[in-house]
Amino acid sequence: MEGKGRDTMERLQKAIAASGYTSRRKAEDLITAGRVEVNGEVVSELGFKVKQGDLITIDGKALVGENKVYHVFYKPKGCICTLSDELGRKTVVDYFEDVKERVYPVGRLDYDTTGLLLMSNDGDFANLMMHPSSHLEKVYEVTVTGLVTGETLHKLEKGIYLDGVKTIPCKIRVVGKDVEHKTTMLIIKLVEGKNRQVKKMFEAMGHNVKRLHRSQIGFVDLRGMKPGEHRILKPQEVKDLKSMALDKKERYIKQKKKR
């Protein structure tokens, strides 16, 4: 494999996964089974490292890296953010059968949550987008049970403790209230993306989430798209997303050093 972009040493299983050939876990199985060679020598050691220019072959065939691709996906309700499901439920990758590259979700949305999900085969991009310090703003449309008070909004915006850790301040706006059915519709903008965070925040204040939809990540939105559809991110969009995330990451590190 002419390891494009591999200027430093990296573990063999990571290099195989980065090529899009298979997942890292399955790559480990291939290595331990003795099916992988590096520069003509069988490698069965998981800690083995490769560098740019090393020839990696699997079952005698040279590993060729995939083109890096980036998609915006409008996740519909009733599918899960995994590559496969033992219960036979529909997964997000089922909507990408027309894409030759093996893409995977960047982050996740719950089974019953709809909205914007990034999909890619670029591990570095995925890690950057998902890293807590990247602080990319995410916008959610939320419908909760009960009539949310101004006091509750103020507490949520300032940050509350979830699992012993205080949430980063966010912005919340009420867009509608249904007094008859006792529900509140809101838009929340936050820079964190912890597992089930929006649901946990409202549940902690006594409001269960009835509907949750992510409409935006950074400057990327779902305009003109329908549930189940995906589109390719333009090269400039990918570049701008990376630049935005790196900038926020650098600011986060500088602020942390000052503390």
**Positions marked active-site:** 110
- Following CA atoms 183, 186, 190, 194 in sequence, which dihedral angle do they give, to the nearest 10 degrees? 30
Helix then strand then coil, % of the chain, to nearest 5: 30, 30, 45
Tokens of 75: 């996740």
Measured between alpha carbons, how far is residue 254 from residues 131, 163, 179 in Å? 16, 26, 46
146: which DSSP letter?
A: S
- List CB contacts of 223: < 8 A, sequence separation 6 or more: none
Dihedral angle at the C-alpha atoms of 27, 6, 249, 111, nearest 10 degrees?
A: -30
Structure tokens at 41: 């020598």
Question: CA 210 → CA 151, 193, 195, distances in Å?
Answer: 21, 19, 17
